[in-house]
Amino acid sequence: MKLKLLLLTVLAFFGINSYAQNNSNGSKILVAYFSWSGNTEYVAKYIAEQTGGMLFRIEPVKPYPTEYTPCTEVAKAEKERDARPDIKNKVADWDSYDTVFIGCPVWWWTAPMIINTFIESYDFEGKTVVPFCTYAATYRDETLARIVELTPTANHLKGYGAVNRDTDGIAEWLKEIKVID
């Protein structure tokens, strides 16, 4: 029994380390995302697994309606009034991260307004921002560009847009931008 436990501990140690070693430049990575129906969360988890990054789910104080049409209406109204929906949670130890992935679904041709709230809550000076999004069909590039536009003091790496929760191509992209080997 003791031997089994020891073996499991050793395996767990090497398992965790192999993630950390994936990250090619040794930088500390945060993968921050907002997700309403789970696609962006799925992609964010995949990115975190690949990079050894820490996941942070951006959670609204007031949850969005769970039905699709009411959710689109709330999202549209927020966009029209340039809203800043409140966020429930805070990134712990923000200063320790060098690289911040910021991900969201495309909502009404751009990033949801809660992404503005998130970005305006932190200092991005000296950080490297990597935008990503998930979308059904349109406005991928505009959404990635919006995240770049909202973080003018950061450096940026090329972003990525996944159709729904399709992760094919993400590992190649992470290699291309040299976040993993």
Ligand X SMILES: Cc1cc2nc3c(=O)[nH]c(=O)nc-3n(C[C@H](O)[C@H](O)[C@H](O)COP(=O)(O)O)c2cc1C
Residues forming contacts to ligand X in the complex (CB under 6 A) are: 35-41, 71-72, 75, 105-109, 134-139, 164
Q: CB of residue 45 vs ligand X: minimum separation in angstroms?
A: 11
Cβ proximity to ligand X: between 108 and 122 the closer is: 108
Q: Is residue 134 within a helix (H) or strand (E), and if so which, with residue range? A: strand 128-135
Q: CB of residue 159 vs ligand X: minimum separation in angstroms?
A: 15
Cβ proximity to ligand X: between 98 and 142 the closer is: 142
Report the alpha-carbon distance of residue 108 to residue 87 in Å, rounded. 20
Cβ proximity to ligand X: between 104 and 180 the closer is: 104
Q: CB of residue 136 vs ligand X: minimum separation in angstroms?
A: 4
Give strand pairing partners of 101: 31, 130
- Residue 5 phi, psi (nearest 5): -60, -45
Strand blocks (E) in 62-127: 99-105
Rounded to a whole number of angstroms, the CA Rg of the chain reads 17
Cβ proximity to ligand X: between 113 and 179 the closer is: 113
Cβ proximity to ligand X: between 97 and 132 the closer is: 132
Give strand pairing partners of 54: 30
Q: CB of residue 157 vs ligand X: minimum separation in angstroms?
A: 21
Q: CB of residue 64 vs ligand X: minimum separation in angstroms?
A: 8
CB atoms within 10 A of CB 37: 15
